[in-house]
Structure 1
C-alpha cells in the first residue's frame, strides 16, 4: 500500500522527470519548427506565448507580485542573459548542429556554474568539479572531431551553443539577486516578457516580412506550441515544484536525463544517425557531469540512510 507521503514523493519525481522530458524534446521540436521559421521568429513567438500563459497562471493562483523599482535593473540584466543571449546561442546553434550534440553541450551548464560562483562570490571550486569539466570537455571533443581532425559539427554552431552555456552561467549569478525576493513564477514570467521585448525589434526588422509570407503546416504549428507550452512554461513550473519538494541537489541530478531524452527522440522523430564516437562522447560527458556532482550525490544518499 502506497502512503500519502510516498504518493506525494512519486508525484514530485514525476513532475521533475516531465520537466527534463520537455526540455529534452525542445531540441527536437525546434528542429521541426526551423524548417519554416527563422530562429528569431521562433524565440519571439515562444516567449510571447509563454509569458501570456504564465500571466494567466499568476492571476489564477494570485501569486503575482509587484516589482520594486530598484530591482528593475536586475530583471533587465537577467532577461538579457536568459532568454535573450541564451536563446540566440541555442537557436542559431541548433540550426547548424544536431539535436543530440546540442543537448549534450547545453547539459554542461552545471559544470561551469561553480566557476562563475567562484568569480562572483568566491565560492570554492572542488576537485570533483574540475575533473568533471575535463571529462566533459574530452567527451565533447570526441563527438566533434573526426580522426583526421576535421569537425563533425559546424564550428560556428558549436560556438553559438557555448554562448548559450555561458549565458546560462551568467544567469545563475544574476538570479541570486532576485531568487529570495520573488516567487519563481513571477521571475520566469517577467524574464520571458522582457526577453520578448528585447527580440521584438529584431523580429520587426529582420523577420516580419518573411513571417507574413510563410504558411506553416500543422506539424510546425504544433511543434511551436509544444515549445511554448511545455518547454518554456510547464517545464519551469514542474521544475520549481521539484526544487521546493526534493531540493536543488536531487533536481539537478535529474537534468542528466535531458540529453538521453533528446537522443532517443532524435533517433525516432528526426532519424538522426548515431556513430560510435557520438555514443562514446555522450557517455564521457555524462560521466563528467556525474563526477562533478559526486559529493552532492553522496551527501544525499547519506541523509537518506540516516
Structure 2
C-alpha cells in the first residue's frame, strides 16, 4: 500500500466514526416517530453484533470469559448499554438531538469529578477551572435548550442526565475488565448480554409494535451496521494506527456533527444560550483532553 494511503486511511476511519456517532442521534430521533425507544435499541444490536462477530472471527478471538468476570460483565452491559440506551432513547423523545448530544459529550467531565470525590484527590486549579466552565456550559444547554421547551423538554433532559449517570457507573464497574479483555471482545460480550437484559424493558413495547415503512427499516439497519458496528471498528483501527490521544480528542467533535446535522435534517435552530453553552462545553473538553493526555515519553 502506498505510504500516503496508509497515512490517509486511519484519519478517514476516525473522521467517519465521529461523523457516524454524531448523526446517530439524528437517526434515532427520526426512528422515534415510528418505533418505541427500547425497540430501537434492541433491534440495533443485531446488525451491530454481526459486524462485531465478523471482526472477532477475523482476529480469531474467542468469546470465552473468566467465571469471576461474569457478574461484572453483566453489570457493565446493564449500565453501559441497556440502562444507558433506554434512558437516552426515551430522553430523545422529549428533548432535541443537539441538547442530548451536548449533554452526553460532557460525561468525561463528570467522570473526572466523581473519580476525584471517590478517591479524595485534589484536582489541579487548571482542571477545576475547565470543570467550572463546562458546568456553566451544561447549565446553559439544559435551561436554554432549543426545542422543545417547557416541562416535556426538561423531562427529556433529566432522562439524558440519567443516561449520563448510568454511563458513569459503567466506567467504574468495567474499569479493570480492559486489563483482561480486548475492547472488541468486551464490547461483543456486553452486547450479547444486552440482548437478554433488554427483555424486561422490551415487554412494555410489544403493544406499540406496528408495521413500519421501509425507510425506518433502513434507518435502523444504518444505526446497527454503521453507527454501532463499523464506527466502532473504524475507531479501533484509528487508535491502533494513531495512538489514543488524537482519537480521544476527536470524540469532542461528535456534538458539533450532531448540532449541524440537526439543523440540516431536523430543522433544529440553536438558541443563543445553547450556542454559548455548546462552545463552553466543547472548549473545556478540548482543554481537559490536552491536560490529561498521556505523555509521549519519559
TM over 0.5: yes
Counterpart secondary structure, 1:12: helix
The answer to whether 1:176 aligns with 2:175 is yes
State the alpha-carbon separation in 1 of the partners of residues 124 and 6 from structure 2: 34
The answer to whether 1:33 aligns with 2:31 is yes
The equivalent of 1:237 in structure 2 is 233
Question: Which shifted more, 49-58 or 70-79?
Answer: 49-58
State the alpha-carbon separation in 2 of the partners of residues 254 and 122 from structure 1: 30
The answer to whether 1:223 aligns with 2:219 is yes
Structure 1 residues 42, 12: CA separation in 2 closer, same or farther (over 3 Å shift)? same
**TM-score of the two chains, using structure 2 as the length reference:** 0.89
Structure 1 residues 170, 247: CA separation in 2 closer, same or farther (over 3 Å shift)? farther
Structure 1 residues 78, 155: CA separation in 2 closer, same or farther (over 3 Å shift)? same
Structure-to-structure mapping, 1:2-151, within 5 angstroms: 4=3, 7-119=5-117, 125-145=123-143
Which of 257, 260, 263 is the aligned partner of 1:264? 260
State the alpha-carbon separation in 2 of the partners of residues 8 and 157 from structure 1: 43
Residue 102 of structure 1: how far off its partner (Å): 0.7
CA displacement 1:185-221 (0-9 Å, x = unmatched): 1111111111121111321x2112322xx12112211
Question: Which shifted more, 121-130 or 275-284?
Answer: 121-130
State the alpha-carbon separation in 2 of the partners of residues 207 and 140 from structure 1: 32
Tell me if structure 2 keeps the 8 A contact 1:143–1:152. Answer: no
The equivalent of 1:295 in structure 2 is 291
Counterpart secondary structure, 1:110: helix
Computed over aligned residues only, the root mean square deviation of the Cα atoms, in angstroms, reads: 2.6
State the alpha-carbon separation in 2 of the partners of residues 277 and 104 from structure 1: 13
Structure 1 residues 12, 188: CA separation in 2 closer, same or farther (over 3 Å shift)? same
State the alpha-carbon separation in 2 of the partners of residues 216 and 251 from structure 1: 37
Residue 34 of structure 1: how far off its partner (Å): 0.4
Counterpart secondary structure, 2:173: helix
Tell me if structure 2 keeps the 8 A contact 1:138–1:284. Answer: yes
State the alpha-carbon separation in 1 of the partners of residues 63 and 142 from structure 2: 45
Structure 1 residues 241, 127: CA separation in 2 closer, same or farther (over 3 Å shift)? farther
The runs of 5 or more residues in structure 2 that have no matched partner are none
The runs of 5 or more residues in structure 1 that have no matched partner are none
Structure 1 residues 120, 240: CA separation in 2 closer, same or farther (over 3 Å shift)? farther
Which of 265, 274, 289 is the aligned partner of 1:278? 274
Structure 1 residues 165, 126: CA separation in 2 closer, same or farther (over 3 Å shift)? farther
State the alpha-carbon separation in 1 of the partners of residues 151 and 239 from structure 2: 37
Count of matched residue pairs: 295
State the alpha-carbon separation in 2 of the partners of residues 155 and 41 from structure 1: 23
Counterpart secondary structure, 2:93: helix
